[in-house]
Amino acid sequence: MCLYTRWKKSKKAKKDIIIYKILDKDCVSPYQGFMYTLGTKYNTIMRRRDSLFDGGFFIDDGFHAFTNRIALLNSDSKKYFIGAKAFKCIIPKGSSYYISSCKRTIVSDSIIIKRRLLFNIF
């Protein structure tokens, strides 16, 4: 998964940020195959690379998620990941993050998976 943004620098979360992530029923990410445990804080290093066309940036490494439920439900993920489940997560206060130019996706250097959502229609 890759996020495109025009932000030159990541922002720091001033408070916990609620986000939404797609995982399978066992809390495994569909892109990287990473297994999460509910309630555990995970950290990583985000990597940014320049776009060759328009001065924007791509963020490949980091914890990718959706900024809100509507973005999650409108995503194409349910087409590609049979059995995908929606999870409510947080980016903890003090974490670094980028938001995509379309404002539907977000990537951060830390995440906590809180719970599976009941409205899940995947």
SS3 71: helix
Per residue in 61-114, pLDDT (tens digit) is 999 999 999 998 888 776 777 778 899 999 999 999 999 988 999 999 999 999
**Would you say the pTM of this structure is higher than 0.75?**
yes
* Domain locations along the chain: 3-116
Query: Which percentage of the chain shows pLDDT scores above 70?
Result: 94
| Cα angle for residues 26, 30, 31 (degrees, 5° grid) | 145
Residue 89 has what pLDDT?
98
